[in-house]
Amino acid sequence: MIHRFPNYYKEFSCIADKCEATCCAGWQIVVDEDSLKQYKKVTGPFKQRIKDGVDFKEGVFYQNQGKRCAFLNEQNLCDMYTALGEDSFCETCRRYPRHIEEFENIREFTLSASCPEAARILLSQKEPVQFYEVEMEADEEEFDDYDPLVYEKLLEARGEMLKLLQNRSIPVKERAAALWDFIQIFQEEMDEGTLFADDTIYEKLIPRNPKTSYEEAKALFALLHNLEFLADDWEDTLNEAEELLYGKGAKDYEEIKTNFAVWKYTNFPNWDIMAEQLLVYFIITYSCGAVYDEYVASKVKMSVCSMFYIEELAMAQWMKNGGSLTFAEFTKIVYRYSRELEHSDENLITMDRMMEEI
Ligand code: SF4
């Protein structure tokens, strides 16, 4: 069994009570069977707390006001951890923000950008992200609907896309546009069964300067309203951004974009590197998952669109601030966006379907 990691993986360490957006609030924490069994055996003073905090029927932790986990105390520390130690953590809590994608004999690990500290680490990477592999002993697993040849092809395509994505001699938007065009051809050939015979497929990864019109940007952004909202204030954030960016028409939008571009490259010389790291993150996390449904175009397009959404939200925040944006604010946009999209299976499915349509 091969375990594959991005090179920054080991930089992560939970900042616990210093975290500005704890992962123990805002969504339902699902508890695995083994942990439920373990919780049933707890004796002593913490027994009643377990009874009050664990919904054994639904296999989740109860939530208090603000969707806070029943074990999260006022100091944003976990009372279960304090009383019973780290071994008491259920799989979700033990693992987060480590995200695992499973393939036959391969596990790919990433750090979810929905965690503020993981997002900070990701955005702070200056060099192109590399991946390393560790051979682990494990029983060989077989997956239904898994075609190793398709996986190999997806992996090869991902490698080629990453090579282009990390080519810093090309503006990041042109690299993203190359992926957008290429993956549609790749998908067509996959659907028609001609992909494996096409030796020139990677020659179709051609950078181009994308021009997103006001109407296109507005329509693309509006798609976010089709997702379920996890945070109570997310819909307000979207509405506010739309008003700031698109509220005054095409001419103003173009002017905002031009001014923001000048500002961001002056104040964030690493802007394109941050955009590259985000694109790499989304491509790595999702593109090979197409081995299970063979819809790789929607996943790559979702990655490119995610970069677009994050930039638009950043531009709106910059406007709201009167022409400024801090790294902390940008990081917050990234982890909030990631939470909304990546912490809802329903949203990932809806996004996948929407991306098939565009
Ligand atoms: S979101 Fe990340 S840094 Fe914050 S408490 Fe959770 S794991 Fe720790």
The number of the ligand 1 atom at minimal distance from the alpha carbon of 76 is 5
Task: List the residue whose alpha carbon is closest to atom 2 of ligand 1.
Answer: 115
Render pLDDT for 321-333 as a digit per residue (tens, 0 to 9): 999 999 999 999 9
For a mutational test of ligand 1's pocket, the pick from 20, 23, 29, i.e. the residue with the most ligand atoms closer than 8 A to its C-beta, is: 23
Q: How far is the CA of 94 from the centre of ligand 1 (A)?
A: 11
Predicted local distance difference test score (pLDDT) of residue 39: 94
Asked whether 97 lines ligand 1 (CB < 6 A), one says yes
Predicted local distance difference test score (pLDDT) of residue 187: 96
For a mutational test of ligand 1's pocket, the pick from 12, 20, 22, i.e. the residue with the most ligand atoms closer than 8 A to its C-beta, is: 22
Asked whether 96 lines ligand 1 (CB < 6 A), one says yes
For a mutational test of ligand 1's pocket, the pick from 9, 13, 14, 18, i.e. the residue with the most ligand atoms closer than 8 A to its C-beta, is: 14
Asked whether 100 lines ligand 1 (CB < 6 A), one says no
Instruction: Give me 295's structure tokens.
Output: 């819809």
Q: How far is the CA of 298 from the centre of ligand 1 (A)?
A: 29
Asked whether 289 lines ligand 1 (CB < 6 A), one says no
Q: How far is the CA of 18 from the centre of ligand 1 (A)?
A: 9
Q: What is the pTM of this model?
A: 0.92
3-state SS of the chain?
Answer: CEEEEECCHHHCCCCHHHCCCCCCECCCCECCHHHHHHHHCCCHHHHHHHHHHEECCCCEECEEHHHEECCECCCCCEHHHHHHCHHHCCHHHHHCCEEEEEECCEEEEEECCCCHHHHHHHHHCCCCCCEEEEECCCCCCCCCCCCHHHHHHHHHHHHHHHHHHCCCCCCHHHHHHHHHHHHHHHHHHHHHCCHHHCCCHHHHCCCCCCCCCHHHHHHHHHHHHHCCCCCCCHHHHHHHHHHHHHCCCHHHHHHHHHHHHHHHHHHCCCHHHHHHHHHHHHHHHHHHHHHCCCCHHHHHHHHHHHHHHHHHHHHHHHHHCCCCCCHHHHHHHHHHHHHHHHCCHHHHHHHHHHHHHC
For a mutational test of ligand 1's pocket, the pick from 78, 96, 332, i.e. the residue with the most ligand atoms closer than 8 A to its C-beta, is: 96
Q: How far is the CA of 117 from the centre of ligand 1 (A)?
A: 7
Closest residue by Cα to residue 275 from 255, 305, 300: 305
Residues of the chain with pLDDT under 70: 139-140
Instruction: Give me 194's structure tokens.
Output: 């001609």
Asked whether 22 lines ligand 1 (CB < 6 A), one says yes
